[in-house]
Amino acid sequence: MSTELFNLKGKVALVTGSTHGLGMAMAKGLGLAGAKLVVNGNSSQTKIDDAVKFYESLGIEAYGFKFNVTEEDQVIKAINDIQVAVGPIDILVNNAGIIKRTPLEDMDVEDFKEVINVDLVSPFIVSKHVVKAMIEKKEGKIINICSMMSELGRNTVGAYAAAKGGLKMLTQNMATEWAKHNIQVNGIGPGYFATSQTAPIREEGHPFNDFILNRTPSAKWGDPDDLCGAAIFLSSKASDFVNGHILYVDGGILATIGKPSNEN
């Protein structure tokens, strides 16, 4: 009984931006829990094909679809193609995102708009068209990948924080509107994780590495696989009465004000 609560066998899960990084880690978790994976990216077909091969090497049934999550026409076509080739989407993880690190006073308006478009508008576009089939069958799970910047600000990431703060409220409003259809909409807010992108700033002695280790109660960077449990939980029957919640997977950062650098 208890393990069945987390079994995703027979479910179709679309994870946007799942060719690398945290999206790939969460998709892997869903696949290993039994879901059929729909892999999405927009950079190159080769990258999507390589990701599909990686998932298949783990025994996961995976399908690749290249489309731009910010282009509504592409999203509509892709969802229709997925429904024909794989089946109706049971689980949607809106993971695709970008960040531009620029002080607000120096940031171009077009760069600001691009971050908002990818990180906030695209989850609306994809969810809007995926949810229609979920409403018809009276069942579905949507997970929006938020951030600690959904709660906190930090220098040079104003556009990202604005988008992720908006995504938190969009998540809650989606839950409000779609709960009556037995659809659960929640978010995951990752903390700081050890990925290829963060490798340069995780070197011993790097000021930001020292900052994160001191700021995080668990005194370490997260492993991408640490997100798998949260993704599986929010995609499974175990979370059928969890709605409009943001689950922060951050090693305890948001639970504390921090500590002086000289304190153990």
In a domain, 218, yes or no: no
- 2 pLDDT above the threshold of 80: no
User: Would you give the end-to-end CA distance of the chain in angstroms?
Assistant: 43
**Does the residue 215 lie in any domain?**
no
Mean pLDDT value of segment 173-180: 98
More confident residue, 258 or 148: 148
| pLDDT score at 3 | 82
Do the domain assignments include residue 259? no
The domain of 185 spans 4-195+224-250
Residue 160 annotated among the catalytic residues of the structure: yes
Flag whether 134 is in a domain.
yes
Q: For residue 1, is pLDDT > 60?
A: no
Q: CB-side exposure of 78: number of CA atoms within 13 Å?
A: 26
Q: Say if 262 falls within a structural domain.
A: no
pLDDT grade, residue 264 (50/70/90)? low
208 found inside a domain: no
For residue 167, pLDDT beyond 90: yes
The answer to the question of residue 261 being in a domain is no
Name the H helices within the chain.
Answer: 21-32, 45-57, 72-85, 109-116, 122-137, 158-178, 207-215, 228-235
The pLDDT value given to residue 175: 98
Domain count, the chain: 1
The predicted-structure confidence for 222-242, as pLDDT tens digits, reads as follows 999 999 999 999 999 999 999
- pTM for the model stands at 0.96
User: What single-letter DSSP state applies at residue 222?
Assistant: B
Tell me how far apart the alpha carbons of residues 262 and 145 are, in angstroms, rounded to a whole number: 34
Q: Which of 55, 63, 160, 192 is catalytic?
A: 160
What CATH number has the domain bearing residue 36? 3.40.50.720
Residue 138 pLDDT exceeds 70: yes
Residues 209-224 have pLDDT tens digits of 999 999 999 999 999 9
**Residue % of the chain over a pLDDT of 90:** 93
Task: Report yes or no on 219 lying in a domain.
Answer: no
Contacting residues for 200 by C-beta, under 8 A, at least 6 apart: 206
Q: What pLDDT score was predicted for residue 168?
A: 98
Tokens coding 7: 């079994």
Confidence of residue 261 (pLDDT cuts 50, 70, 90): low
Q: What is the mean pLDDT of residues 96-112?
A: 97
> Could you give the 3-state DSSP secondary structure of residue 83?
helix
